[in-house]
A = this chain, B = another copy of it.
Amino acid sequence: MASWGKRLAGVRGVLLDISGVLFDGSEDGGVPIPGSVEAVARLKRSQLKVRFCTNESQKSRGDLVRLLRHHGFDISESEVTAPAPAASLILKERGLRPHLLVQDGVRSEFDQIDTSNPNCVVIADAGESFSYQNMNKAFRVLMELESPVLISLGKGRYYKETSGLMLDVGAYMKALEYACGIEAEVVGKPSPEYFRSALKEMGVEAHEAIMIGDDIVGDVGGAQRCGMRALQVRTGKFRPSDERHPDVKADGYVENLAEAVDLLLQHADE
């Protein structure tokens, strides 16, 4: 493999995944991954541009940022690209009235959206709200539409909480896709539009940007398909088999965010 110097040359902007990179979530707020608070601070003091690009869809962007600040992270709402506000914009633009299958914590992102007489379904990482009854309700709404529209906030397979692996929204998206014979529109990683909106907000071209994430497919593969480079951290939902993934090869594998930032600060301006 090429030297780190070659692999990181010309990087001007860094997109950071949040869950599994900054902290491991849990029902009672989660714990920061060791070294990550300092790593974010060092990155923000450098000349590199930084933006957070998450698929978190259980909480509103405001609640997520408050939680991260509580853990000591230097982060503000305007620095975060999150799927619920992005979806809210899309719904407005297209005049869509969603049936929401989401957790209460993220419902405020849709406060300005008309949800009467729904003409589409939006699903997020709903956790316990993915009951049979709620899934069946969403299914019936879709089956009654002439051209069913299903919008999924991300399509992750699973994520890691301190208690263990947790099924993510992608699994439930697949269930509804199969039951209705349709294909969902994904708002979130690895959708190229989503990465491009984060790059635009950061003001950096794809070839000058690098994504750091724990998801070999959603973070690494998705970013690379947009022309970015990508590192996988060995934290969060990382599994050793990811380094032998049949389709996706990261530009580098690092122990954690702290090591990634060490390497970036050393080599990015070479």
Chain A interface (Cβ < 8 Å from any Cβ of B): 126-133, 135-136, 139-140, 143, 157-158, 164-168, 170-172, 174-181
Contacts and interface: CB of A to CB of B under 8 A. Distances in A.
B132 A130 contact: yes
Contact of A128 (B133, B174, B180): B133
A178 B165 contact: no
Contacts of A165: 136, 139-140, 143
Contacts of A139: 158, 165, 167, 171
Nearest to A126: B132
A164 B141 CA distance: 11
Nearest to A136: B167
Contacts of A174: 174-175, 177-178
- Interface residues of A, dominant DSSP: helix
Contacts of A164: 140
25 contacts: A127-B132, A128-B131, A129-B132, A131-B131, A132-B167, A135-B167, A139-B158, A139-B167, A139-B171, A140-B164, A143-B165, A157-B179, A157-B180, A157-B181, A158-B179, A167-B175, A168-B179, A170-B178, A170-B179, A171-B178, A171-B179, A174-B174, A174-B177, A174-B178, A175-B175
Contact of A135 (B130, B136, B176, B177): B130
- 3 smallest CB-CB distances across A and B, nearest first, come from A171-B175, A174-B178, A171-B179
Which of A127, A158, A177, A178 has most B Cβ within 10 Å?
A178
Contacts of A127: 132
Contacts of A177: 174
A104 to B, nearest CB: 15
Given A139-B165, A143-B158, A170-B179, 4 more contacts: A128-B131, A131-B131, A171-B175, A174-B174
A243 to B, nearest CB: 15
Contacts of A175: 167, 171-172, 174-175
Contacts of A168: 179
Contact of A132 (B128, B136, B176, B181): B128
A139 B172 CA distance: 13
Contacts of A167: 132, 135-136, 139, 175, 179
Given A164-B140, A165-B139, A166-B136, A157 B131 contact: no
A247 to B, nearest CB: 11
A158 B177 CA distance: 12
A116 B7 CA distance: 49
